[in-house]
Protein backbone atom coordinates (compact mmCIF):
# COMPACT_ATOMS: atom_id res chain seq x y z
CA UNK A 1 0.00 0.00 0.00
CA UNK A 2 2.91 2.37 0.74
CA UNK A 3 3.82 2.38 -2.99
CA UNK A 4 0.45 3.71 -4.09
CA UNK A 5 -0.53 7.36 -3.81
CA UNK A 6 -4.04 8.70 -3.79
CA UNK A 7 -5.42 10.62 -6.77
CA UNK A 8 -5.22 13.80 -4.68
CA UNK A 9 -1.54 13.19 -3.93
CA UNK A 10 -0.76 12.60 -7.62
CA UNK A 11 -2.58 15.78 -8.62
CA UNK A 12 -0.70 17.78 -5.97
CA UNK A 13 2.59 16.31 -7.20
CA UNK A 14 1.75 17.24 -10.79
CA UNK A 15 0.86 20.79 -9.70
CA UNK A 16 4.19 21.05 -7.88
CA UNK A 17 6.12 19.96 -10.99
CA UNK A 18 4.25 22.47 -13.17
CA UNK A 19 4.90 25.18 -10.59
CA UNK A 20 8.65 24.46 -10.51
CA UNK A 21 8.78 24.54 -14.34
CA UNK A 22 6.96 27.91 -14.26
CA UNK A 23 9.56 29.31 -11.83
CA UNK A 24 12.37 28.14 -14.11
CA UNK A 25 10.74 29.65 -17.23
CA UNK A 26 10.05 33.00 -15.59
CA UNK A 27 13.44 33.05 -13.78
CA UNK A 28 11.81 33.81 -10.43
CA UNK A 29 14.42 33.40 -7.71
CA UNK A 30 13.14 31.83 -4.54
CA UNK A 31 14.82 32.48 -1.21
CA UNK A 32 17.21 29.75 -0.14
CA UNK A 33 17.00 27.77 3.08
CA UNK A 34 19.92 29.87 4.37
CA UNK A 35 17.93 33.05 3.68
CA UNK A 36 15.00 31.74 5.70
CA UNK A 37 17.23 30.68 8.61
CA UNK A 38 18.80 34.16 8.64
CA UNK A 39 15.42 35.91 8.58
CA UNK A 40 14.02 33.68 11.32
CA UNK A 41 17.01 34.46 13.56
CA UNK A 42 16.75 38.20 12.84
CA UNK A 43 13.01 38.06 13.44
CA UNK A 44 13.34 36.43 16.87
CA UNK A 45 16.14 38.80 17.94
CA UNK A 46 14.21 41.88 16.88
CA UNK A 47 11.07 40.72 18.67
CA UNK A 48 13.08 40.24 21.85
CA UNK A 49 14.47 43.79 21.53
CA UNK A 50 11.01 45.20 20.83
CA UNK A 51 9.40 43.56 23.86
CA UNK A 52 12.33 44.53 26.07
CA UNK A 53 11.92 48.15 25.01
CA UNK A 54 8.16 48.01 25.55
CA UNK A 55 8.66 46.58 29.05
CA UNK A 56 10.29 49.84 30.12
CA UNK A 57 6.96 51.66 29.79
CA UNK A 58 4.01 51.61 32.22
CA UNK A 59 1.07 49.42 31.26
CA UNK A 60 -1.21 52.40 30.77
CA UNK A 61 1.19 53.89 28.20
CA UNK A 62 1.32 50.58 26.29
CA UNK A 63 -2.46 50.54 26.06
CA UNK A 64 -3.15 54.15 25.09
CA UNK A 65 -4.41 54.75 21.54
CA UNK A 66 -1.67 56.65 19.71
CA UNK A 67 -3.47 56.80 16.37
CA UNK A 68 -1.68 53.83 14.80
CA UNK A 69 -3.55 51.43 12.54
CA UNK A 70 -4.01 49.06 15.47
CA UNK A 71 -4.18 51.87 18.00
CA UNK A 72 -1.66 51.28 20.75
CA UNK A 73 1.71 49.65 21.18
CA UNK A 74 -0.01 46.58 22.64
CA UNK A 75 -2.55 46.61 19.83
CA UNK A 76 0.25 46.55 17.28
CA UNK A 77 2.13 43.76 19.07
CA UNK A 78 -1.08 41.73 19.27
CA UNK A 79 -1.64 42.21 15.54
CA UNK A 80 1.81 40.85 14.70
CA UNK A 81 1.06 37.77 16.81
CA UNK A 82 -2.32 37.40 15.07
CA UNK A 83 -0.76 37.63 11.60
CA UNK A 84 1.94 35.10 12.45
CA UNK A 85 -0.59 32.68 13.93
CA UNK A 86 -2.81 32.87 10.85
CA UNK A 87 0.07 32.22 8.47
CA UNK A 88 1.71 29.49 10.50
CA UNK A 89 -1.58 27.63 10.63
CA UNK A 90 -1.89 28.01 6.85
CA UNK A 91 1.63 26.64 6.45
CA UNK A 92 0.46 23.43 8.13
CA UNK A 93 -1.07 22.55 4.75
CA UNK A 94 2.39 22.36 3.11
CA UNK A 95 2.75 19.10 1.15
CA UNK A 96 5.85 18.17 3.18
CA UNK A 97 3.78 18.11 6.38
CA UNK A 98 6.46 19.94 8.36
CA UNK A 99 6.95 18.51 11.86
CA UNK A 100 7.88 21.91 13.31
CA UNK A 101 4.36 23.16 12.63
CA UNK A 102 2.57 20.40 14.54
CA UNK A 103 2.60 22.64 17.63
CA UNK A 104 0.27 25.06 15.82
CA UNK A 105 -2.58 22.59 16.25
CA UNK A 106 -2.84 23.69 19.90
CA UNK A 107 -2.86 27.41 19.02
CA UNK A 108 -6.33 28.56 17.90
CA UNK A 109 -6.62 30.80 14.87
CA UNK A 110 -7.52 34.40 15.73
CA UNK A 111 -10.96 35.55 14.61
CA UNK A 112 -9.73 38.94 13.33
CA UNK A 113 -6.44 40.68 12.55
CA UNK A 114 -7.10 42.90 15.57
CA UNK A 115 -7.50 39.89 17.86
CA UNK A 116 -6.25 40.59 21.39
CA UNK A 117 -4.28 37.63 22.72
CA UNK A 118 -3.55 39.52 25.91
CA UNK A 119 -3.54 43.08 27.27
CA UNK A 120 -0.65 42.08 29.55
CA UNK A 121 2.81 42.44 27.95
CA UNK A 122 4.36 39.56 29.93
CA UNK A 123 1.62 37.16 28.86
CA UNK A 124 1.87 38.31 25.24
CA UNK A 125 5.66 37.88 25.36
CA UNK A 126 5.29 34.20 26.28
CA UNK A 127 3.08 33.73 23.22
CA UNK A 128 5.59 35.64 21.08
CA UNK A 129 8.49 33.49 22.26
CA UNK A 130 6.51 30.34 21.51
CA UNK A 131 5.76 31.47 17.95
CA UNK A 132 9.35 32.54 17.31
CA UNK A 133 10.58 29.13 18.45
CA UNK A 134 8.21 27.48 15.97
CA UNK A 135 9.36 29.80 13.18
CA UNK A 136 13.04 29.08 13.87
CA UNK A 137 12.36 25.33 14.01
CA UNK A 138 10.48 25.55 10.71
CA UNK A 139 13.36 27.48 9.13
CA UNK A 140 15.79 24.78 10.26
CA UNK A 141 13.54 22.04 8.87
CA UNK A 142 12.64 23.33 5.41
CA UNK A 143 14.65 22.36 2.35
CA UNK A 144 15.20 24.34 -0.83
CA UNK A 145 12.80 21.92 -2.49
CA UNK A 146 10.13 22.77 0.10
CA UNK A 147 10.51 26.48 -0.68
CA UNK A 148 9.53 26.12 -4.35
CA UNK A 149 6.40 24.10 -3.56
CA UNK A 150 3.06 25.84 -4.16
CA UNK A 151 0.83 26.30 -1.12
CA UNK A 152 -2.94 26.50 -1.29
CA UNK A 153 -4.64 28.76 1.26
CA UNK A 154 -7.88 30.63 1.77
CA UNK A 155 -8.72 34.05 3.14
CA UNK A 156 -11.78 36.30 3.10
CA UNK A 157 -11.21 37.11 -0.58
CA UNK A 158 -11.09 33.53 -1.79
CA UNK A 159 -8.67 30.69 -2.56
CA UNK A 160 -5.05 31.31 -3.57
CA UNK A 161 -1.98 29.34 -4.55
CA UNK A 162 1.47 30.88 -4.11
CA UNK A 163 5.03 29.65 -3.72
CA UNK A 164 5.88 28.70 -0.13
CA UNK A 165 9.19 30.57 -0.18
CA UNK A 166 7.45 33.77 -1.27
CA UNK A 167 4.85 33.37 1.47
CA UNK A 168 7.62 33.00 4.05
CA UNK A 169 9.08 36.29 2.81
CA UNK A 170 5.65 37.84 3.30
CA UNK A 171 5.53 36.52 6.87
CA UNK A 172 8.84 38.18 7.72
CA UNK A 173 8.06 41.36 5.79
CA UNK A 174 4.73 41.72 7.61
CA UNK A 175 6.51 41.52 10.95
CA UNK A 176 9.15 44.03 9.89
CA UNK A 177 6.49 46.47 8.69
CA UNK A 178 4.54 46.42 11.94
CA UNK A 179 7.65 46.33 14.13
CA UNK A 180 8.55 49.58 12.39
CA UNK A 181 5.20 51.00 13.47
CA UNK A 182 5.70 49.75 17.02
CA UNK A 183 9.23 51.20 17.20
CA UNK A 184 7.86 54.58 16.06
CA UNK A 185 5.23 54.47 18.80
CA UNK A 186 7.94 53.58 21.32
CA UNK A 187 10.10 56.44 20.08
CA UNK A 188 7.16 58.83 20.49
CA UNK A 189 6.93 57.57 24.07
CA UNK A 190 10.62 58.28 24.69
CA UNK A 191 12.03 54.76 24.19
CA UNK A 192 14.76 53.98 21.63
CA UNK A 193 14.68 50.36 20.48
CA UNK A 194 18.22 50.58 19.13
CA UNK A 195 19.76 49.11 15.99
CA UNK A 196 17.25 47.32 13.74
CA UNK A 197 19.12 46.81 10.46
CA UNK A 198 19.08 43.29 9.00
CA UNK A 199 22.58 44.13 7.73
CA UNK A 200 23.98 43.47 11.22
CA UNK A 201 22.73 39.86 11.05
CA UNK A 202 24.22 39.14 7.62
CA UNK A 203 27.57 37.35 8.00
CA UNK A 204 30.66 38.75 6.31
CA UNK A 205 31.57 37.20 2.98
CA UNK A 206 34.49 34.81 3.07
CA UNK A 207 35.99 33.01 0.10
pTM of the model: 0.85
Report the C-alpha gap between 99 and 69 in whole angstroms: 35
- Please give the DSSP secondary-structure letter assigned to residue 94: -
Say what the pLDDT of residue 3 is: 44
3-state SS, residue 34: helix
Domains of the chain: 7-193 (1.20.120.450)
Summarize pLDDT for 158-184 with one digit per residue, the tens: 999 999 999 999 999 999 999 999 999
pLDDT tens for the chain, residues 1 to 207: 444 455 555 555 555 556 555 544 555 678 999 999 999 999 999 999 999 999 999 999 999 999 999 999 999 999 999 999 999 999 999 999 999 999 999 999 998 999 999 999 999 999 999 999 999 999 999 999 999 999 999 988 999 999 999 999 999 999 999 999 999 999 999 999 999 999 998 988 887
pLDDT digits (tens, 9 = 90+) for 42-70: 999 999 999 999 999 999 999 999 999 99
**How confident is the model at residue 8, as a pLDDT?**
54
Alpha-helix runs per DSSP H in 55-197: 59-63, 73-91, 121-141, 144-147, 164-188
Predicted confidence at residue 4, as pLDDT, reads: 47
Q: Which residues, at least 6 apart from 113, have a Cβ–Cβ distance to it below 8 Å?
A: 79, 82, 83, 86
| Chain center to CA of 20 | 23
Concatenated DSSP letters of 125-165: HHHHHHHHHHHHHHHHH--HHHHTSEEEEEETTEEEEEEHH
SS3 42: helix
Cα distance between residue 142 and residue 33, in whole Å: 7
d(CA 153, CA 109): 14
Three-class secondary structure of residue 47 per DSSP: helix
What pLDDT score was predicted for residue 21?
A: 57
Q: Are 56 and 103 in contact (CB under 8 A)?
A: no
Q: What is the pLDDT of residue 2?
A: 44
- In degrees to the nearest 10, what's the CA dihedral of 49, 52, 54, 60? 170
d(CA 81, CA 50): 13
Amino acid sequence: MGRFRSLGDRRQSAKSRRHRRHLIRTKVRMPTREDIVLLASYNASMNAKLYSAAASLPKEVLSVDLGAFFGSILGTLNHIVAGDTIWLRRFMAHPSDLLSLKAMVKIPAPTTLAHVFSDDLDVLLKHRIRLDAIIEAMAAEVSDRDLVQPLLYRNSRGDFQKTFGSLLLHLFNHQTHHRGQASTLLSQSGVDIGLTDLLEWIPDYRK
